Amino acid sequence: MYIGAQFSLYPMTDDFVGVIIKALSALDPYRDRLQVETDDVSTLLVGPPEALFPAMRDLFAATAATGKHCVLSATISRGCPGEPDDPRCHSPALDATISKSDRIPAALDAIAAAPQLSVHTVAQFSLYLLGAQQHMDEIEACIDLCRQSGLKAAPKHFCTKLAGDAGPVFALLEQSFCRFGAPDGHVAIDLTVSANSPSLA
């Protein structure tokens, strides 16, 4: 299993370089569990979901705390058949023994246990299940989790929009990534997270 993300951080300010460099220290607590590689377009993170999502969350929260309008955009993937197995990615979160009837309550527990970071975010994401038939059933189940999550959730064309504190928002994203599609299946998320938008109603 190979799990990771290509993510980018967009602070809408002349000092975007300074803001990004300052926020990068938020990744430090995760560096022993994640591979980190940056080029001119995105940063690759490779590792288990329980490090991957909190790392992106903390980096985004540190950026949002500047008060500048900022966006994190990410392509997150697990189980792509073209990628190698990587022991660093092995995770109890992809435990095949949990039944479909138990997974929603387990996901809701994890979201309820998420830390509150006092950073208001608006996110939208699409969940893709590849190589699977009946993929829409799992997507509907994930939308149902969003509705029950306690976060503000609304359908948009091609994605679901969420609003709430960065803590439970990233917990919901992590649960969506891990709990839908086969544990060894090819699953991807296309994610946008925004804070401090002047257009926010």
Select from 83, 88, 104, 120 the one that contacts a copy of itself (CB under 8 A): 83
Length of the chain: 201
Are 51 and 93 spatial neighbours (Cβ–Cβ below 8 Å)? no
**27 near a copy of itself, judged by CB under 8 A:** no
**131 near a copy of itself, judged by CB under 8 A:** yes
User: Beta strands 186-195 and 35-38: pairing type?
Assistant: unpaired
- Is 43 a known ligand-binding residue? yes
Select from 22, 103, 104, 128 the one that contacts a copy of itself (CB under 8 A): 128
Are 7 and 73 spatial neighbours (Cβ–Cβ below 8 Å)? yes
**87 near a copy of itself, judged by CB under 8 A:** no
Q: What is the DSSP letter of 151?
A: S
Least distance (Å) from a copy of itself to the CB of residue 109? 28
Are 96 and 183 spatial neighbours (Cβ–Cβ below 8 Å)? yes
Q: Within a 10 A sphere around the Cβ of 167, how many other Cβ atoms?
A: 20
Which residues bind to a copy of itself, rule: CB under 8 A?
A: 2, 4-6, 8, 10-14, 16-17, 39-42, 44, 46, 69, 71, 73, 75-77, 80-83, 122, 124, 126, 128-136, 139, 156-159, 161, 186, 188, 190, 192, 194, 197-201
